[in-house]
Each structure stands twice: as C-alpha cells, then as structure tokens.
C-alpha cells in the first residue's frame, strides 16, 4: 500500500490513487484532489461527495443511476460536475474506493 501527501495529510492510497481509508478524508483533501481534474468544488459537488460517502459507508454499491436518482443531481448534471468519468472522478475526490461498476 502506498502513501501520498494530500493537503498536508499523509493518506494511504492504492495503485490507482484511490484512498483506502475513507476516515482520512476531509474537505481540504477533496479540494486538492479536485484540482488534479481542474474542478473547483461547489456546495453541489460536496452534496454529491457526501451522498457517495454515506452510501458506501452503508455498504451500498454505487452506480451512476443511483446518483442520478439521489435527488441531489440528475445524471446529466452529474456528468457536468465531474467530467471524464463522473463516478470514478467523484469517488476519488470523495476519498472512497473506485466502485466495482467502473472499469
């Protein structure tokens, strides 16, 4: 397991750069990871990130459809907020593992 310093915090990451311990995550880390994707996080972004984290902590599998039916964003807006693979990108920013539905 590798380690990476993000926003001044040393976190554990896997080979793809996803955090392996969600408890190490904070909003400053999210902001720094988002910068790697040229994303400036807004309240709407954070609402999606919190939704993802809550669902994973509840043991649920994440899908784009589940996010689209969350009541926070629809699928089109999800793609706009997190371009380039919304579920992969948002999961990385949220400090959770890449969903199994992502290749």
List pLDDT tens digits, range 50-97: 999 999 999 998 899 999 999 999 999 999 999 989 999 999 999 999
Known catalytic residue at 71 = no
Report pTM. Answer: 0.93
Q: State the residue for tokens 């290749």.
A: 103
Q: Which two tokens stand for residue 72?
A: 């926070």
Q: What pLDDT digit, counting tens, does each position of 17-30 carry?
A: 999 999 999 999 99
Rounded Cα–Cα distance for residues 53 and 40 (Å): 19
Ranges of each domain in the chain: 2-93
pLDDT for 103: 59
Say if residues 56 and 95 touch (Cβ distance below 8 Å). no
Q: Is the dihedral of CA 50, 85, 22, 39 positive or negative?
A: negative
In the predicted model, is pLDDT for residue 102 greater than 70? no
The pLDDT confidence band at residue 99, using thresholds 50, 70 and 90, is confident
Among residues 7, 47, 64, 102, which one is catalytic? 102
In the predicted model, is pLDDT for residue 7 greater than 90? yes
Rounded Cα–Cα distance for residues 42 and 22 (Å): 21
Q: Which residue has the higher pLDDT, 39 or 99?
A: 39
Q: Under DSSP, is residue 8 helix (H, G, I), strand (E, B) or coil? A: coil
């Amino acid at each position: 397991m590798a380690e990476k310093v993000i926003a001044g915090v040393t976190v554990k990451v896997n080979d793809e750069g996803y955090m392996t311990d969600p408890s190490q995550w904070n909003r400053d880390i999210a902001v720094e990871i988002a910068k790697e994707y040229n994303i400036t996080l807004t309240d709407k972004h954070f609402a999606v990130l919190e939704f993802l984290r809550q669902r994973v902590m509840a043991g649920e599998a994440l899908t784009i459809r589940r996010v689209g039916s969350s009541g926070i964003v629809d699928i089109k807006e999800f793609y706009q907020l997190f371009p380039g693979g919304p579920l992969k990108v948002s999961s990385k920013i949220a400090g959770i593992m890449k969903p199994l539905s992502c290749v």
